[in-house]
């Protein structure tokens, strides 16, 4: 009972929050609970949420490392003064909920116990975990193998993971796709982590992500600006026009096609570039020759005419052979 005769609410609130967003970004219900609490408590002195709450003007203290049973008893005892808010630790406070259940069950007049989710993960937040893990692996005291890698030493893994992803997609195994997409994503994050260590021209994951965001916005004016493009072909035409402005140094339609692409994929890309540039006659002329390379190129053009990827078609044929053995 309070001094004015109002019954005092004895409540223990476990405030959970996502470690993947900025500290202090709580819901209104969370801030209301914090503002009305007799005690706001955390485990660690350097808990980021503790700092954020203290900076808002709300008194909050840390209890230090304690066993679950001792901590549960201390939290329940504090509810004699009114509402207690426990700021959940980043590791989830292992064993605390079980200890609280046992402590509350043993009391004749237990307090209310509630779990209040103060913030949620946003889509893509697990990418922050990947960046953090990669940083730990690459930093002093991390993994010796990861620390030794360079952009050049990682190239074989990028190629291998790309091919494994293609295989997973063509197999239709979605669980395998998720795994291989993760492996390829790791390569991007790995290269970005290596890149930020460069002495003269460092770059990090935000530079990589920022660059592709800007490119996507720039090359989709029909979405982010006032350009009209109602069909896929109009979108593709706009894309090529924008890319031509961005890369004025390319004087040939075939400039920029990686030389290390598999031969069929490179031929397919070249045929597509020539068609876009209005010079498909060159591709047809090359295919009309009688040598073996030209006949292979003619098959590439045939696959394109049928809307098929020659690389994918050939891979499927080889897989069929394997099944027959």
DSSP 131-144: HHHHHHHHSTTS-H
Cβ-based neighbours of 52, under 8 Å, separated by 6 or more: 23, 24
Residue 112 included in any domain? yes
Instruction: Give pLDDT, residue 243.
Output: 81
Q: For residue 22, tell me if it sits in a domain.
A: yes
pLDDT computed for residue 38 by the predictor: 94
Residue 15: domain span? 11-117
Residue 1 pLDDT: 47
CA angle in degrees (0–180, nearest 5) for 270-276-279:
75
For 174, counting Cβ atoms within 10 Å of its Cβ (0-12 exposed, 13-18 middle, 19+ buried), the class is: exposed
Show which of 117, 142, 159 is a domain's final residue.
117
Predicted local confidence at residue 325, as pLDDT:
67
Of the residues 117, 143, 177, the one at which a domain ends: 117
Q: Mean pLDDT per 10-residue run, the chain (325 residues)?
A: 59 92 92 95 91 94 94 95 94 93 94 94 91 96 97 95 94 95 97 96 96 94 90 86 83 83 88 83 83 88 90 88 73
Instruction: Read off the tokens for 219.
Output: 């090359």
pLDDT at position 241 is 84
Instruction: Report DSSP letters for 38-70, one per residue.
Output: SEEEES-TT-HHHHHHHHTT---EE--S--HHH
Total number of domains constituting the chain: 2
Task: Answer whether residue 192 is part of any domain.
Answer: no
- Residue 150 resides in a domain: no
> Residue 25 and residue 11: Cα distance in Å, rounded?
23
Q: Which CATH number belongs to the domain containing residue 96 in this structure?
A: 3.40.1010.10
Choosing from 83, 117, 151, the residue where a domain stops is 117
Residue 124 lies in a domain: no
144, part of any domain:
no
pTM beyond cutoff 0.85? no
Alpha-carbon gap, residue 88 to 115, rounded angstroms: 10
φ, ψ (nearest 5 deg) of residue 181: -60, -40
175 domain residue, yes or no: no
Asked, for residue 207, whether it belongs to a domain, the answer is no
Shortest CA distance to 76 belongs to which of 44, 43, 101?
101
The residue assigned the tokens 């259940």 is: 101
């Amino acid at each position: 009972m309070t001094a004015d005769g109002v019954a005092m609410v004895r409540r223990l609130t476990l405030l959970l929050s996502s470690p993947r967003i900025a500290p202090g970004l709580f819901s209104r219900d969370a801030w209301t609970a914090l503002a009305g609490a007799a005690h706001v408590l955390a485990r660690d002195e350097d808990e980021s949420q503790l700092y954020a709450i203290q900076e808002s003007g709300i008194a909050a203290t840390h209890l230090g490392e304690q066993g679950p049973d001792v901590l549960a008893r201390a939290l329940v005892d504090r509810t004699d003064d009114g509402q207690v808010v426990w700021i959940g630790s980043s590791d989830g406070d292992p064993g605390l909920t079980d200890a609280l259940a046992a402590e509350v069950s043993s009391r004749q007049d237990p307090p209310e116990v509630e779990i209040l989710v103060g913030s949620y993960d946003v889509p893509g937040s697990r990418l922050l975990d990947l960046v953090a893990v990669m940083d730990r692996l690459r930093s002093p005291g991390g993994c010796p193998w990861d620390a030794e890698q360079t952009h050049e030493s990682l190239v074989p893994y990028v190629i291998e993971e790309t091919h494994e992803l293609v295989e997973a997609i063509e197999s239709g195994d979605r669980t395998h796709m998720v795994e291989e997409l993760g492996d390829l994503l790791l390569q991007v994050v790995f290269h970005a982590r290596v890149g930020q260590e460069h002495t003269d021209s460092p770059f990090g994951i935000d530079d990589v992500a920022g660059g592709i965001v800007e490119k996507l916005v720039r090359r989709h004016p029909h979405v982010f600006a006032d350009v009209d493009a109602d069909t896929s072909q109009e979108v593709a035409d706009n894309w090529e026009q924008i890319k031509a402005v961005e890369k004025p140094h390319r004087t040939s339609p075939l400039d920029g096609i990686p030389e290390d692409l598999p031969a069929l994929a490179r031929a397919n890309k070249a045929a597509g570039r020539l068609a876009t540039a209005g010079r498909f006659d060159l591709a047809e002329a090359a295919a009309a020759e009688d040598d073996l390379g030209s006949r292979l190129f003619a098959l590439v053009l045939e696959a394109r005419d049928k809307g098929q990827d020659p690389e994918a078609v050939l891979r499927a044929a080889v897989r069929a052979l394997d099944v027959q053995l």
